[in-house]
Amino acid sequence: MKNTKLLSIITTMTMAISYTVALTPALTASAVTPQPVLSLSKLDLNWSELDENNDGIIDEDKRVQEVEVSVSGANYLWCYCGIHVFFPSEIAPHVDPLTDQLERTYGKAVSKAALSTVVYATGETENMVFASFAATTTITNYFDDGTPMYRGKDGMMFSFEVVLPADASPGEKWDFSFKYVVTPPSVAGGRSINDLFTNADYYRAADEKGLNTDEMTQYAIDHWQNGYINILDDRPTEPTTEPTTEAATNEPTTEATSKNLVITNPESTVTGDINNDGIFDLSDIVGITNYLTNTSKYPLPPRALKNADVAGNGDGVTTQDVFYLTQLIVNNN
């Protein structure tokens, strides 16, 4: 997955952060500890609402869905963000055809950001969205305990639009995941670029220790919550009906003995008995089924054919006889 415009934006963002950190005086340790939790939308969509035309295809105006990226636990405690979101390639970014820019909306969490960028890149197996935000680090307000207040807030950071596949069906689900990305120096123009979610204090502390990931960013990585788009199958199920059998004339009488069913009939010895063992059981059903499947391979003598023809319509041995005899076994065991 390669996107030169994306790499340029990441590099610019990193340079901006480095510059603002350099100009920001060191602050005392914060008493209010940021615990940022980044989260992606979990969308459960009813098929009946996606396919209102009831033609088995998602309505064209329902294919575009909005995915939100939000943060909690860091209200006024962050000012830098660079994150990647990945999702399957069959889910397409919704792009403005005139500008080739991803359709996106910025939320209240980044309303004070001086730099806001959301871009996309596509790949063979997965697509990606990268978002970067940077706010001024000039501190003018503090919490009651003296902790500096930054410009990044809790709430929705941004949302972006995606397009569901035209051939999507009920039961399909696509995962949307945060991934921590480190862009190597060979790609990023001479220096490694890491994803982050932090403020100037945490960023500087990690930089002074030579760490690639600061403590606040690591907390965000350990606690972020991935999302999905899931199509629920809420289609009504068709009622099932039990097959019925019309009563036949000259219906044989039955008598149960042990686990085998013996059927007596004045016109034959044992109705259903084709193997001449004196009883009617499952082995006879198997023999009749084999005969119907391949009469030349599994022929039956005239006596067996007469015993097997129990439907009473004189049309010889058919699947109706198999059904009738099977029902007798089921009902009498």
What is d(CA 332, CA 129) in angstroms, rounded to the nearest whole number?
66
In this structure, which topology does domain 253-331 adopt according to CATH?
Type 1 dockerin domain (1.10.1330)
pLDDT single digits (tens) 7-28: 555 555 554 555 454 444 444 4
| More confident of the two residues 241 and 96 | 96
SS3 4: helix
pTM of the model: 0.65
Domain 4-232, CATH 2.60.40.680 — does that match? yes
Contact 221, 180 (CB under 8 A): yes
On average, the pLDDT of the chain sits at 82
> Would you kindly state where each structural domain of the chain is located, as residue ranges?
4-232, 253-331
* Three-state secondary structure call for residue 35: coil
Are the C-beta atoms of residues 1 and 183 closer than 8 Å to each other?
no
Structure tokens at 126: 């997965």
Q: Kindly list the distances between the CA atom of residue 256 and the CA atoms of 234, 277, 279, in Å, as whole numbers in the listed order.
A: 46, 16, 10
Least confident segment among 87-101, 162-176, 195-209, 263-277: 263-277
- The candidate with the shortest Cα–Cα distance to 229, out of 64, 3, 13, is 64
User: What secondary structure does DSSP assign to 187-248, as a single string?
Assistant: HHTSS-EE-EEE-HHHHHHHHHTT-SS-HHHHHHHHH-B-EEEEEE--PPPPPP-----PPP
Give residue 100's pLDDT: 93
pLDDT digits (tens, 9 = 90+) for 106-162: 999 999 888 899 999 999 999 999 999 998 767 788 898 888 999 999 999 999 999
Q: Is 37 left (phi over 0), alpha (psi -120 to 50) or beta?
A: beta
87 in helix, strand or coil? strand
Cα–Cα distances in angstroms (integers) from residue 327 to residues 284, 322, 332, in the given order: 13, 9, 8
